[in-house]
């Protein structure tokens, strides 16, 4: 018989393991793969692969007229699309050198802040659900539903809304919006209080987030990180305060900041930001200038069929001052409030639908703005405009060559730098900590497409 082998003579071999997290992992949202190297359950190496979604956003924006890019901006951050719409429009308006009406600016702020709350509700709710707090997710989605109903009442859609226009907005607020909005704010505050009661002192939740996914202020700035992620480190940068746009300089709000730059501070910052956004919504509603008293326009009104018959005979003299009684399907509802939410610049603003179908001047104006080779034609030049998106600084750099379509559109997506820093956040942590850390990034696939 051979000599028995002593355990001390053959130590157990220790090797690292390569493990793919995603793209099919539910916490990776289907389009991100993290190639991790593990020593036991400790992450000792990580590589993030984001190339599972590419929509060619920038190239698509360059293929058509300026306003055609607005539906593409919806799909950048589809959880808060209104902010994307408005940021792009502000960049083009900067080249044009135009300002929108005061009421339009207040509506843009109002809708942006509603969008910010829906985004944070989704982020915190999904992160909590992925950690097992399913009740929190249900409460958050309940609150988000109040706000989605508001968005739908204004834009006609819930998610991909295409509401903004260069020079203004698609339409004014509905008549009963103010009352509904204040009720939604009140109900959302109730839900946020319930979430605080459920999570703020929940030992399991707090222990899973505290001192996990930590990044210093200096490293965050070096990576170009902005938004709640940066503010969790103690930096106070917020585009709305640093470079006020629209009417943010007239409104009172605070910029919440953390101290430790960990997942727990990012949770606290987002929760407080929602409270500040609700304050901004109330102030915007209170300060918003009302629309003008509507009066019947002067001028003769003729049936649309008669105008067509007269035009066929060449008898068009005086048509410029004539209003047409259109079929109900062509008689739009935006004309009465059009001047309140749209620029007066006819080189930029599409006429109201009833003007397009109702008088020759409106038809010609519409024709010049939509036909190939005509359209909206900013002067040659370029502009960068940044807004505070839900994830941080969302910037659009638009270059015009004087034609009716952008020569170049470049987007600065806020969650791209955060995803770039993700390996630094998870290396040295346990594999189970990848989920809450990735949730705190609030990665939106459309924003990574740049």
Q: What is the pLDDT of residue 336?
A: 63
Contact partners, residue 343, CB within 8 Å, separation at least 6: 98, 99, 100, 101, 167, 168, 349
In sequence order, the β-bridge partners of residue 410 are: 397
Two tokens at 412? 């600065």
pLDDT tens column, 58-90: 999 999 899 999 999 998 999 999 999 999 999
Burial of 438 (0-12, 13-18, 19+ CB in 10 A): buried
**Are the C-beta atoms of 377 and 402 separated by less than 8 Å?**
yes
Contact partners, residue 426, CB within 8 Å, separation at least 6: 34, 36, 43, 46, 213, 433, 434, 437, 438
In sequence order, the β-bridge partners of residue 21 are: 34
Two tokens at 64? 């058509």
Q: What is the pLDDT of residue 191?
A: 97
Two tokens at 325? 């009684």
**Inter-CA distances, 265 with 117, 214, 433, Å:** 17, 10, 15
Residues of the chain with pLDDT under 50: 292-299
Q: With DSSP H G I counted as helix, E B as strand and the rest as coil, what are the percentages for the chain, rounded to 5?
A: 50, 10, 40
Domain ranges for the chain: 57-291+378-428+439-448, 301-370
Q: For tokens 């606290």, name the residue.
A: 268
Evaluate if pTM is beyond 0.85. yes
Two tokens at 323? 């209003």
Q: What is the pLDDT of residue 296?
A: 33
The alpha helices in 288-431, defined as continuous H runs, are 304-312, 335-341, 353-358, 360-370, 415-420, 422-426
pLDDT tens column, 250-274: 999 999 999 999 999 999 999 999 9
pLDDT tens column, 152-166: 999 989 989 999 999
Q: Could you name the CATH architecture of 57-291+378-428+439-448?
A: Orthogonal Bundle (1.10)
């Amino acid at each position: 018989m051979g000599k028995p082998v002593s355990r001390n003579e053959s130590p157990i071999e220790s090797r690292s393991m390569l493990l793919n997290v995603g793209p099919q992992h539910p916490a990776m949202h289907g389009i991100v793969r993290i190639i991790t190297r593990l020593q036991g359950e400790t992450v000792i190496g990580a590589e993030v692969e984001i190339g599972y979604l590419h929509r060619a956003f920038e190239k698509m924006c360059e293929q058509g007229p300026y306003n055609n890019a607005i539906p593409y901006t919806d799909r950048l951050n589809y959880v808060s699309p209104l902010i994307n719409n408005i940021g792009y429009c502000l960049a083009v308006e900067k080249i044009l050198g135009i300002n929108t009406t005061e009421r339009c600016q207040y509506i843009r702020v109002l809708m942006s802040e509603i969008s910010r709350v829906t985004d944070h509700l989704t982020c915190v709710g999904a992160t909590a659900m992925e950690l097992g707090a399913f009740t929190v997710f249900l409460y958050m989605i309940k609150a988000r539903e109040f706000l989605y109903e508001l968005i739908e009442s204004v834009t006609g859609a819930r998610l991909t809304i295409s509401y903004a226009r260069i020079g203004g907005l698609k339409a004014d607020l509905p008549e009963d919006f103010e009352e509904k909005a204040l009720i939604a704010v009140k109900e959302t505050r109730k839900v946020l209080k319930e979430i605080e009661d459920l999570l703020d002192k929940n030992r399991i939740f707090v222990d899973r987030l505290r001192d996990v996914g930590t990044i210093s202020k200096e490293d965050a700035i070096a990576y170009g990180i902005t938004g709640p992620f940066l503010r969790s480190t103690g930096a106070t940068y917020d585009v709305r305060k640093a470079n006020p746009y629209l009417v943010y300089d007239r409104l009172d709000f605070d910029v919440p900041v953390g101290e430790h730059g960990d997942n727990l501070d990012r949770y606290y910052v987002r929760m407080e930001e929602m409270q500040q956004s609700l304050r901004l919504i109330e102030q915007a509603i209170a300060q918003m200038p009302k629309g003008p008293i509507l009066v019947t326009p002067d001028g003769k009104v003729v049936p649309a069929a008669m105008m067509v018959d007269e035009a066929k005979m060449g008898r068009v003299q005086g048509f410029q001052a004539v209003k047409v009684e259109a079929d109900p399907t062509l008689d739009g509802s935006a004309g009465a409030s059009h001047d309140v939410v749209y620029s007066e610049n006819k080189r930029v603003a599409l006429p109201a639908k009833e003007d397009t179908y109702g008088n020759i001047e409106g038809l010609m104006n519409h024709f010049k703005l939509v036909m190939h080779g005509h359209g909206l034609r900013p002067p040659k030049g370029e502009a960068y405009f940044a807004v505070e998106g839900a994830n941080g600084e969302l910037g659009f750099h638009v270059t015009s060559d004087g034609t009716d379509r952008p020569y170049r559109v470049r987007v600065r997506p806020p969650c791209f730098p955060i995803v770039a820093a993700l390996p630094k956040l998870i290396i040295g942590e346990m594999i189970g900590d990848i989920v809450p850390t990735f949730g705190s990034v609030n990665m939106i696939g459309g924003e990574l497409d740049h």
